[in-house]
Amino acid sequence: MDDADWLAECFEAHRPRLRAVADRMLGSGAEADDALQEAWMRLSRSDTSAVQNMSGWLTTIVARVCLDLLRSRQSRREQLAGGHLPEPVRDTGDSDGPEQQALLADSVGLALLVVMDTLTPAERLTFVLHDMFDVPFDQIAPIVDRSPAAARQLASRARRRVRAAGSGPGSDPARQREVVTAFLAASRRGDFAVLIALLDPDVALRTDREGVRLGAPEEILGAQAVAGVFVEYAGGVRPALINGLAGAVWAPSGRPRVAYVFTLGGGMITDVHRVANRKRLAELNVVILDG
């Protein structure tokens, strides 16, 4: 076996862990696949003769690629408002491995993943690598161009925000379903008072790029405006479970064409994501409910 074959075999052996890292770092299966492809290209051009810890070296390469993608996403203002919807945790093929267990342990639905998307790229990378994959800070620090102490502070800030989301009402599927179900019922009745009571005053309804191309506004802000949208379209929207959380869909002929994903904070709806992209819709687990 020559060096190229050995390197390819080594990369494939570590692929489940690397895919898990990229998936959680980016919140997108498609982007995670792109990241691994780019990581392999970088690895194939590298001199690995002096590498003693191949697992750590591969993780570093993937992390650097993901950091570049996160920074690019942030610079294009795609994070949340630009149509990026976090995805559920995916099976890495190693259900008993520490990476998969770490992912499953903090998988509390889209609400937490939305919070992850509000972290800075450096915060997200540091938190994911250290708290989910047990990468030491002295290995993380060069990736984010910080000292180990500064990297520890990044992870601490991220951890506080994620824990706040995980302990709040938005992380409780039963509470989330209760609020969203009441909201959709009030929409059908045209009960503005109830709608306003369930919406955070600064609630945002954000639409992905496909929805914008079809004529929907990219962003609608404020309880009054968002309530008005749901009253207007209530007759065509059906309750649904989306990745295990309460949501809604527009589904002519029983096929979802638009999905509405709700995020809670403080017992109120703080964000609604309107998803019209066909590929993303196909990736979501949607169960249409009666009503």
Which tokens sit at 240? 């649904």
Write out pLDDT tens, residues 215-233: 888 889 999 999 999 988 8
Q: Would you state the pLDDT for residue 55?
A: 85
Q: Would you state the pLDDT for residue 165?
A: 56
The CATH 3.10.450.50 domain(s) of the chain lie at 170-288
Instruction: State in words which class domain 3-167 has.
Output: mainly alpha
d(CA 14, CA 218): 40
Q: State phi, psi for 87 to the nearest 5 degrees.
A: -105, 165
DSSP 5: H
pTM reported for the whole predicted model: 0.53
Helical H runs in 50-191? 54-75, 98-105, 110-117, 121-127, 133, 137-140, 148-167, 173-189
Instruction: State in words which class domain 170-288 has.
Output: alpha beta
Tell me the CA distances in angstroms from 202 to 74, 165, 260, one per residue in order. Answer: 22, 17, 18
Which tokens sit at 107? 């998988």
Q: Would you state the pLDDT for residue 98?
A: 45
The CATH 1.20.140 domain(s) of the chain lie at 3-167
Write out pLDDT tens, residues 22-60: 988 887 777 888 999 999 998 888 776 667 788 888 999
Give the full edge-to-edge strand order of the sheet including 199-207. 219-221, 199-207, 268-275, 258-265, 245-250, 237-242, 286-288
Tell me the CA distances in angstroms from 137 to 53, 125, 149, one per residue in order. Answer: 16, 11, 8
Q: Would you state the pLDDT for residue 75?
A: 66
For the chain, residues with pLDDT lower than 50 are 77-109, 167-170
Q: Would you state the pLDDT for residue 1?
A: 52
Q: Would you state the pLDDT for residue 153?
A: 93
Are 185 and 290 within 8 A, CB to CB?
A: no
